Amino acid sequence: MLAALNLPSFLWLWRIAAWSMGLSISAYLLLAVTGGWLFVSHRQQGGQLESQLKNQLENQLATPANRPSWLRPLHLFTGGVIVLLVLLLLAVGLVGTFGYYGSLGHSPHLIAGLTVVGLTLLSAWAALRISPERPWARPLHLGVNLALLIGLTAVSWTGWTVVQKYLP
Ligand code: HEM
Ligand code: HEM
């Protein structure tokens, strides 16, 4: 690792960043699709509004009949993957930058990176709290995920801007 830090360029860093970022965005898209499906399967329960609301609460933890059994585990697994990827990107970014400059905070990329990590952890935390006793957890999960879309765009944009500095 120390030898890698002495490399004259950030090529190794932005290669890992680009690959992990590609995977993160793929994970986000898969989460949006599986999450959207979970969302629809909740709302298709029951006919009348009243029974629909009741079913929504009751079925949050059980598996509704119109939902394949692998859907929720797949969503959760992909969620775990995106958490790990984002933490990996944070570690590589911090270690790489500190190893090269001896300090942090060289561009808005730092704020964007910290924001994305914070939002991802908040989303996962809220997701694991979804239950009938905690009606705030579901809307929080959804709202944070929307903000995460903007955050991922910002971190890619600022990351790419930083990479331009090292390209000939
Ligand atoms: C950060 C990691 C994530 C974890 C650990 C996670 C986990 C969960 C869990 C446990 C549920 C409840 C499932 C159920 O009701 O049976 C859920 C629901 C949902 N998630 Fe995620 N999720 C994550 C990220 C995302 C992302 C990035 C999106 C969208 C881009 C998303 C969209 C949704 C949607 C739409 C629902 C359904 C809410 C509803 O039924 O009203 N999730 N998620
Ligand atoms: C979730 C995604 C990401 C996170 C959490 C993240 C996090 C970070 C952090 C915290 C730093 C230290 C910044 C500083 O102190 O100024 C950093 C540096 C860096 N990141 Fe990222 N990053 C992400 C994605 C990317 C992407 C997509 C790229 C490029 C395509 C990238 C390229 C870089 C480069 C080249 C540096 C060196 C900073 C400099 O020279 O100013 N990162 N990253």
Structural domain boundaries in the chain: 8-166
* pTM for this prediction: 0.86
| Higher-confidence position of 149 and 162 | 149
Residues with beta carbon inside 6 Å of ligand 2?
10, 13-14, 17-18, 21, 24, 86, 89-90, 93-94, 96-97, 104-107, 109-110, 113, 116-117, 155-156, 159-160, 162-163
For residue 43, which ligand has an atom nearest its CA?
A: 1
Residue 147 or residue 69, greater confidence: 147
pLDDT at site 114: 98
- Determine the average pLDDT of the residues in 159-167: 80
pLDDT of residue 100: 82
Radius of gyration of the chain (CA): 20
User: 21-77 pLDDT, tens per residue?
Assistant: 999 999 999 999 999 999 998 776 544 565 566 656 655 555 666 789 999 999 999
Burial of 113 per CB tally in 10 Å (0-12, 13-18, 19+): buried
How far apart (Å, rounded) are the C-alpha atoms in residues 90 and 61?
32
Quick one: which ligand is closest to 135's CA? 1
Contact 128, 61 (CB under 8 A): no
Rounded CA-CA distance 112/117 in Å is: 9
Atom of ligand 2 nearest to the CA of 163: 35
